Structure 1
């Protein structure tokens, strides 16, 4: 008996790639490359071009001496301001009107610094005063009006607060979005974001002030300022996610992490960044949070108004985005409820006919 062998069916041909897939791949590759280059620019350019940029510095002393110093310091590095006496100069340093000052007299040169306002600026002012004293063959005296606390003289704890402030605004936004998704969880996300900002702000301030001794100011005011900064960041990210989706959250996170963080000027002080960069940095939550923390922790709140107003605007912006998303979600829910009722009415009408 002859057996008939059925030939095997040919393997199906692979499905053709969807049209435009190659174009999407090219756009993705070049887009990601642009993001990486942009991150490198945000981190590298401010560091490469760091240095004194319009640093406000005060000068006092005999008219001919102050005129000579003002002429010597003329340029883009320093913004020289003349004061009537040393007391007025010291008050200006404490009030953050200037980063430091130089007092000239027959006895020698005195440098008034505020290390807590920015260690690089304090070092540069000290070096300038030393050079002037050498020219006059006199002595130099350095008076640090606002140093870092004794337990942390280099301000390491203060400088390390930059990343926790940024991460403290991003992590709760991610967690709350996952735990309370959709329009129904929007109010829970907002309540959680505000509550976390308050708790984390007080906890971080307690650690830095009582644990490491890095902060020296009113605990409650410093904590509220730090909470405001974290809340401004967290609520903005939650609002972007509610209105645009994860794409909006990702865009906000990239801007904050790779632009706001390196441009915050927390370690060096904002005047040590190039003019354009420092303006952008102080308008973003990390930079404003750092300025507010510095003012409250070391200068009794002097110069905190602009930073607090900036962070308040970010909080309002995040809440506004969430409100728009909430209204849009309500309209979508109402439309979903009306549509079935209209279909039922049409069905009943057809049946009656």
Structure 2
């Protein structure tokens, strides 16, 4: 063994040596963030750029020859035209949400029937179409609004602004509850918390939109329950994804709802303003279904609420199924851990 003392450590210059692979990791992170920003731009910009009337269902009534001629002229990529025998039949179809509006032809002019609360952009496009038809007769159209937004919010601004709160109303409680009550031990607490939060938040949002901004009409209790169902569909699904697959699953679910569900919800325009395939996808995701359910309950006395309510119920069932699977898996892991930690029985001495 040498008696020489160990050499002193080399003096540091104050400049840290980069970790191996740090440059590659930085490049990967930057490329990933760029891809996320680009995807967000595509998700929000493409529906707007490609927005417009896409097979919007409308009705036409009047003298049979004139109505059928107009149907033949309009029926195509923008309008899906149905001829009705009478004004009463056409207006009933609008109120039952079979069509978004209609034109009634008469020798003295054109009457246009709209339901702005059901499809705002389609209603505006139909009014513009009525102006063109009336101009050919050298008259002006007479507008009849069958389902308007409330007087306190005639443009539906408050209704349209509910899109992001509906998404974050499901996402934020899932994150907070997961942080506060982590692991298998807190899973059932997270489930109860998400369900209760959905009820409280649905009641609060409905009250604010109905009485605070005057943006909603209809029965408050039904509207609040519909909003609660939408928030439960999101929060329970997020909690189930996190419990079963960790934060990676939560992140994928959040990306789908933010990048697809929100821009394709059609909350501000109505679903007919999006291309057919995009509109269908949007209505199958919780934000779109929540918006359609809110529209039906708030302005049409529940007409058309069945399909979006069924979609949201299916998402709630999916979330509960994920939570149940995660709960059983966690319970099994706890039992396995307890069994492995149990001390072995002592060997009796001879």
TM beyond 0.5: yes
30-39 or 129-138, which deviates more: 30-39
| Partner secondary structure for residue 115 of structure 1 | coil
Q: Which moved more, 1:237-246 or 1:23-32?
A: 23-32
Q: Does 1:105 align with 2:106?
A: yes
Deviations 1:237-280 (A, max 9, x none): 01011101111111111211222111111111111112222111
Residues 77-100 of structure 1: CA deviation (Å, up to 9, x unaligned): 111111111101001111111111
Q: 1:276 — aligned with what?
A: 277
- SS of equivalent to 1:153: coil
CA distance in 1, matches of 2:7, 2:246: 53
Aligned to 2:160: 159
Q: CA deviation at 1:15?
A: 8.5
Q: CA deviation at 1:139?
A: 3.7
TM-score for the superposition, normalised by structure 1:
0.92
- Give me the whole-angstrom Cα distance separating, in 1, the residues matched to 2:207 and 2:213: 9
Cα deviation per residue 1:36-95 (whole Å; 9 max; x = unaligned)?
A: 222111111001111101111111111211122112212211111111111010011111
Q: Secondary structure at the match of 1:266?
A: coil
Instruction: Tell me the distance in 1 between the aligned counterparts of 2:349 and 2:71.
Output: 95
Which 5+ residue runs of structure 2 have no aligned equivalent? none
Q: Give the Cα–Cα distance (whole angstroms) in 2 for the partners of residues 151 and 209 of structure 1.
A: 10
Q: CA deviation at 1:10?
A: 2.9
> Which position in structure 2 is the counterpart of 1:198?
199
Q: Which residue of 2 aligns with 1:334?
A: 335
Partner of 1:10: 10
Which sections of structure 1, spanning at least 5 residues, go unmatched? none
How far apart in 2 are the matches of 1:6 and 1:339? Answer: 47
Report the Cα offset of residue 31 of structure 1.
3.4
Q: Residue 39 of structure 1 contacts residue 259 of structure 1 at CA under 8 Å; is this kept in 2?
A: no
Structure 1 residues 82, 176: closer, same or farther in 2, change over 3 A? same
d(CA) in 1 for partners of 2:17, 2:159: 58
Matched ranges for 1:273-352 at <5 A? 273-341=274-342, 344-345=344-345, 348-349=346-347, 352=349
Match of 1:34 in 2: 35
Query: What is the aligned length?
Result: 345
CA shift for structure 1 position 7: 6.1
What per-residue deviation string (whole Å, max 9, x for no partner) do you get for residues 186-207 of structure 1?
A: 0000000000000110111111
Question: Aligned to 1:112, what secondary structure does the other structure show?
Answer: strand
Question: For 1:265, what is the secondary structure of its paired residue?
Answer: coil
Cα distance in 1 for partners of 2:50, 2:341 equals 63
Structure-1 residue corresponding to 2:262? 261
Aligned ranges 1:222-233 → 2 under 5 Å:
222-233=223-234
Task: Output the CA distance in 2 between the equivalents of 1:315 and 1:215.
Answer: 25
Q: Cα distance, 1:33 vs. partner?
A: 2.9
Give the structure-2-normalised TM-score: 0.93
Name the Cα RMSD after superposition: 2.3
Q: Distance in 1 between matches of 2:219 and 2:232?
A: 20
Counterparts of residues 138-217 of structure 1 (less than 5 Å) = 138-217=139-218
Residue 117 of structure 1 aligns to a residue whose secondary structure is coil
